[in-house]
Amino acid sequence: MDTRLRIAVQSKGRLYDETMELLGESGIKLVPVKRTLLVPSRNFPVELLFLRDDDIPESVASGTADIGIVGLNEVLEKQMNVSVIKELGFSKCRLALAVPQQAGYDGIEWFNGKRIATSYPVILQKFLADKGIKADVHVITGSVEIAPGIGLADAIFDIVSSGSTLVSNNLVEVEQVIDSQAVLIKPAATELSAEKQEILNELLFRIETVMAADGKKYVLMNVPRQSLDAVLALLPGMKSPTVLPLANEGWCSVHTVIDEKKLWGIVRQLKEAGAEGILALDIEKLIL
Ligand SMILES: Nc1ncnc2c1ncn2[C@@H]1O[C@H](COP(=O)(O)OP(=O)(O)OP(=O)(O)O)[C@@H](O)[C@H]1O
Ligand SMILES: O=P(O)(O)OC[C@H]1O[C@H](OP(=O)(O)OP(=O)(O)O)[C@H](O)[C@@H]1O
Ligand SMILES: [Mg+2]
């Protein structure tokens, strides 16, 4: 039987869309089957094992899956014997302590003797122990933010991203404890077989290629020759921009790769310097 690298991924939820997008952009197409836990790729030697995110660290530690894609928050909470191979740059959030707006929070000592609701007791207990705080940790598995409002807790420890869930529950973030994002994990104690390691190396190369292109634009513009120096001075470029002659002798075409954010910062100056017909195109892959 052909060797396949088994990747544990979230079956549905916050991680699902971007995980599938990353694998799809890495050229991995799945066999079109529905309602199956284990789905092979039809063009790359991997298979996806769809799980709840809570179960992904253990599936990798135990060898049920070879690698997994999961939030760092779950990796730290579950304390399984896995190591992070790569940060994937999506599902960015933090685990933070939050208290009711009227609580009169005056520093970390405030938490002494308080009840804190959370789905992340391990990370929270460690943080409290490090700070020398004695609090009552109350584990609930969802809708943590409503706990203070219904008298179940004095404070919460949960995922925060935009902060809007806290605001709508009259809570204020007071201590940020860890930053999280989606990560690729592998077992810490065992090595993959040589064949699986080779598949993983190819997968990592593809993921890096996709991540390198993220947020970058391929930019082309027409520039009068006398404005060329002024335009080039504005462009960051990866090495140096490509300058090509145009049929009209007084003009040339300038091509370069720029972060989209930087492009917005310089596009008006480029026009003022004489650039015309500025085109910004998406880049799907970037091999550095
Ligand atoms: N608001 C958010 N912004 C960014 N990332 C988030 C946000 N909420 C959660 N995450 C990240 O996505 C992960 C999965 O979140 P989700 O809400 O889908 O989990 P879940 O309800 O536990 O899912 P499952 O049913 O798989 O157990 C979290 O562990 C965290 O890493
Ligand atoms: O700071 P914010 O941008 O508001 O995000 C934080 C919220 O996002 C997540 O919940 P999610 O929306 O996934 O809902 P659920 O986990 O309760 O299903 C998390 O559990 C927080 O409640
Ligand atoms: Mg979960």
Q: What pLDDT is stored for residue 238 in this prediction?
A: 63
Cβ count within 10 A of residue 99: 23
pLDDT at 285: 87
Instruction: Please state the pTM of the whole predicted model.
Output: 0.91
Query: Which of 93, 122, 143, 157 has the most ligand 1 atoms within 8 A of CB, as the residue to mutate?
Result: 93
Q: Is the pLDDT of residue 251 over 70?
A: yes
Which domains can be identified in the chain, with CATH numbers? 5-91+182-213 (3.40.190.10), 93-179 (3.40.190.10), 216-282 (3.30.70.120)
Q: What average pLDDT does this structure show over 23-48?
A: 93
Q: Percent of the chain scored above 90 by pLDDT? A: 91
Q: Tell me the pLDDT band of 167, cut-offs 50, 70 and 90.
A: very high
Q: Which of 153, 150, 171, 148 is nearest to 96 (CA)?
A: 171
Q: Is the pLDDT of residue 230 over 70?
A: yes
State the pLDDT at residue 274.
96
Which of 11, 12, 15, 87 to mutate for ligand 1's pocket (most ligand atoms within 8 Å of CB)? 15
Ligand of minimum distance to the alpha carbon of 73? 1
Backbone torsions φ then ψ of 61, nearest 5 degrees: -60, -35
Compute, in angstroms, the gap from residue 141 CA to the centroid of ligand 3: 8
In this predicted model, which residue has the larger pLDDT, 159 or 287? 159
54 in contact with ligand 1, CB cutoff 6 A: yes
> Is the pLDDT confidence value at 141 over 90?
yes
Ligand 2 and 14: CB distance under 6 A: yes
* Tens of pLDDT, residues 86-138: 999 999 999 999 999 999 999 999 999 999 999 999 999 999 999 999 999 99
Work out the angle at residue 160's Cα, subtended by the Cα atoms of residues 127 and 96, and round it to the nearest 5 degrees: 15
Return contacts of 169-174, CB within 8 angstroms, 24+ apart: 169/145, 170/100, 170/101, 170/102, 171/98, 171/99, 171/100, 171/101, 171/145, 172/98, 172/99, 172/100, 172/101, 172/105, 173/96, 173/97, 173/98, 174/96, 174/97, 174/98, 174/99, 174/105, 174/110
Residue nearest to atom 13 of ligand 2 (CA): 14
Note the ipTM here.
0.96
| Whether residue 159 has its Cβ less than 6 Å from ligand 2 | yes
Q: What is the amino acid identity at position 23?
A: L
* pLDDT > 70: percent of the chain: 99
Distance of CA 163 to the CA centre of its chain: 17
- Locate 205 and state its tokens: 């190369």
Q: Alpha-carbon Rg of the chain, whole angstroms?
A: 25
Check residue 240 and give its pLDDT: 81
- Average predicted confidence (pLDDT) for the chain: 95
Provide the pLDDT confidence category of residue 237 given band limits of 50, 70 and 90: low
